[in-house]
Structure 1
Amino acid sequence: MSDKEGLLKTLDDLADEEFKKFKLFLQQPEILGTSQAIPKNQLENADRLDTVDKIIQTFSHQSVEVVKEVLKKINRNDLVEKLSSINTGEQGKILLHLSINRAGYWIQPFLGTDRKKERSGDNIEVTVLYYIVLRFSP
């Protein structure tokens, strides 16, 4: 299942009042923990599908994590878990950027997800930035 499908399925599980709160939080970057937010005028009349499109357009590869944060704010941890299980198949999905510098090094950063165990014993999902560095010789 794609991120878009998973996000839409998740938003469909919100009651109308919860959906209003959800959209309100998307407008507040300090709540989201990002420097970005979706302007109020783009969400006022947005239905669930339009909202998912705006989320993906604004937050790109961080969309799922942003939605999880907002779901926590509206006390829908059940949907956070559900979204995590839907998104599990996407864990192998990576974002690739290729850069070869003058010295012949190939540097490829990519984002991945991993599960970590906290001291409390809870498992949490974290986004990890990895780098692969290879040296090419002529």
Structure 2
Amino acid sequence: MFHKGDYEIILCVKGPIYIQLDQEQYVINAGEILLIPPFINFFGYKNSTQGVDFYWLHFFSRFKESKINLKESDLIASVKNNPSKDRKILLPNKFTLADYEQSVILIHQILSSRSESSYLQMRDYLTSA
């Protein structure tokens, strides 16, 4: 698949799920998130024999992401030593949720929010949360 400008968040409920982003392969297990950036080729590279269950959300950003290839400790030091006035969100492509249950509740709230334009701000807020 290939997304034309949108991000995708995959929250694995039951796995493993085997997804390849360009040349990098990921195994996503229950409680883990895979963030798929826009304009990247991705596909399943292996069958999941036990069956899978997951949620996925698509969203757009007004800003272009940039990739940072640093070790976690170097990234933390860089952020601490160079405080910026810009608001930034730093996310790895794959990570484990600290509060899985709360995230599932938020996903259900997003899915149950109405599609009327007055609810767009609410869905944006819930997706950000």
TM-score (norm 1): 0.22
Instruction: From the two aligned structures, give the one with the greater helix fraction.
Output: 1
Instruction: From the two aligned structures, give the one with the greater strand fraction.
Output: 2
Greater relative CO, 1 or 2 (CA 8 Å, sep 6+): 2
TM-score (norm 2): 0.23
Structure with max Cα Rg? 1
